[in-house]
Chains A and B, each alone.
Chain A
């Protein structure tokens, strides 16, 4: 009997537990053991079909649910939160009050520029409240009324944009329709392209040719095809790249002429000095210093050279026309023959002189004779000099003595 009573008691407890769980899970769906609940009220002028049970997000995390939505009998004025510049946009006339249950105390987080936004949960519908705590330094006072603002849904926003741009959209659609009509009637460039049989054939031929080219390329025909399919050029390029890399490595190590030229400081210094000197020389030249500088910068010299060139041109013209000695020299065949003969005779004379034949050769080859000749010449020159000095005196004496 005792055992039976014990079973009855356990049975009652079991069914009571089942019933309790049912109440908790079905009726008190928000029941959470050991979690403190904070009831907060928001005011709004429009809630955009927000309903009880919709979620509330704080810091992007689920923080509670909307408990109830009540229409106020009398509208209340609620101070709007400050904006980024710290200025409140005044008071908002609110007609709806939202009771919410949160698992955190929002007044521990909300700053004076907080935002409570009622927005779409997704494109398929549903609403949620998103709380942005703000960035101001000052926190909201506990139990101060909070303002919620409903954002238009995405579809509403899209509809608003369409309304604002309805005329432009209609015009665009009309233009598109006209364009399509013109294209269908083979008007305009695109219409001709679409409807013209010849153009279509051309395009088809082009595509066929391109296809053929692609086949040839893939088959390795032609230069480009070979380049695409033959690995030899690639191997050559690979080898060349390796050689170049090796050469660059040698240059980097300072090997070879170029390497030494690049790596050795002495050569660099010499070249640098040479370039500096060249620069200075050029500077002198441009300043008109030195022979080359004068040649470049002296205007009179330039004029003379110019005149010389003109004279040479005139001489050339005269020569071509057969005037003057040079022209005769250039144009007269007999004179040419005589000149050749003279040159031949001169060669004979010079040959005799070189062999020591005749007076001139003796003068050239016999040093004693040369000295005697030089002495006689000096004496003749002295006599001429004496005569030049005494002639004026003699002439003056003859004039004076001849007159008187």
Chain B
């Protein structure tokens, strides 16, 4: 029977383990950032491979989820707005919700589930099968070889997938708005663009709302890859350990996406 002391010791070990894992994750990110400038030329091929893995494989899922998310938003918001006689404002709501929050967060969730978990499983399997130890024995920098290309690929591909998902979400919302709320495509498009350019554009040709969403998506991509790789590299205990690492990576990614997402929104939109 576990005593209070044993319980406190266990919780202390968990806390220490959490802090250590967090530190290891930050350390991995910092190393990858440094190695990006050092080893970029040598890792181009790995980066291209990871771009295909991170960008192509989850694309159909992102498209379908984006389209139906827009349709769902249009349906729910449109019903409430039509009661107030403001159906035409639906595109403003959909545009802002998708590009500010829903688009980056939705894409990050999909990538966490599809790509992040795969990264954790792959690196975890390599760890438990001592492949990573073998690489280290051959003086190959595992961070440069395994982690940095994944982080770079996710940082590049997440904003692109987010943009595609948001555009398809707007299209889906427009379909519902036109067919079920009698909002003409011209009015929908005009209000959508007006809502995205509500604030002065200070960053370039695209509306500011799109830029902020894409920056958030890039940060989410780096976060998912770093957490997944760190969790995979820390896996131990055979196949069970790999499964535990995958589950832990997904949970940590979700938590950090929510927390970091709030801070980013606070910085951009407060």
Contact = CB atoms under 8 A, between A and B. Distances in A.
Contacts of A13: 23, 26
Chain B interface, DSSP helix/strand/loop, else mixed: helix
Interface stretch (A1-9, A224-232, A266-274): A1-9
Contacts of B20: 4, 7-8, 11
Contacts of A15: 19, 22
Contacts, number: 44
A7 B19 CA distance: 8
A10 B23 contact: yes
A9 to B, nearest CB: 6
B18 A11 contact: yes
Interface string B3-37: 00000000000001011111111110000000000
Contact of B263 (A8, A9, A12, A25): A25
A11 B263 contact: no
A10 B262 contact: no
B113 to A, nearest CB: 24
Contacts of A14: 22-23, 25-26
Given A6-B27, A18-B259, A11 B21 contact: yes
B266 A25 contact: yes
B259 A6 contact: no
Interface string B244-267: 000000000000000100110010
Contacts of B22: 10-11, 14-15
B19 A12 contact: yes
Contact of A7 (B24, B259, B266): B24
A11 B259 contact: no
B83 interface: no
A306 B165 CA distance: 112
A7 B27 CA distance: 7
Interface string A280-308: 00000000000000000000000000000
Contacts of B41: none
Nearest to B230: A7
Given A4-B20, A29-B270, A11 B262 contact: no
Contacts of A7: 19-21, 23-24, 27
Contacts of B18: 11
A21 interface: yes
B23 A8 contact: yes
A13 B29 CA distance: 14
B263 A10 contact: no
Contacts of A8: 16, 19-20, 23
Contacts of B259: 18
Contacts of A10: 22-24, 26-27
B66 to A, nearest CB: 29
Nearest to B24: A7
A16 to B, nearest CB: 10
Nearest to B27: A10
A10 B25 CA distance: 9
A8 B16 CA distance: 7
Most-contacted residue by chain B among A11, A15, A18, A29 (CB, 10 A): A11
Contacts of A29: 270
B23 A6 contact: yes
B110 to A, nearest CB: 25
Contacts of A18: 259
B253 to A, nearest CB: 15
Contacts of B270: 25, 29
A7 B22 CA distance: 7
Interface of B: 16, 18-27, 259, 262-263, 266, 270
16 contacts: A6-B23, A6-B27, A8-B16, A8-B20, A8-B23, A9-B23, A10-B27, A11-B21, A11-B22, A13-B23, A14-B25, A15-B19, A18-B259, A21-B263, A25-B266, A25-B270
Given A7-B20, A10-B23, A15-B22, 18 more contacts: A4-B20, A6-B23, A7-B19, A7-B24, A7-B27, A8-B19, A10-B26, A10-B27, A11-B18, A11-B22, A11-B23, A11-B24, A13-B23, A14-B25, A14-B26, A15-B19, A25-B262, A25-B263
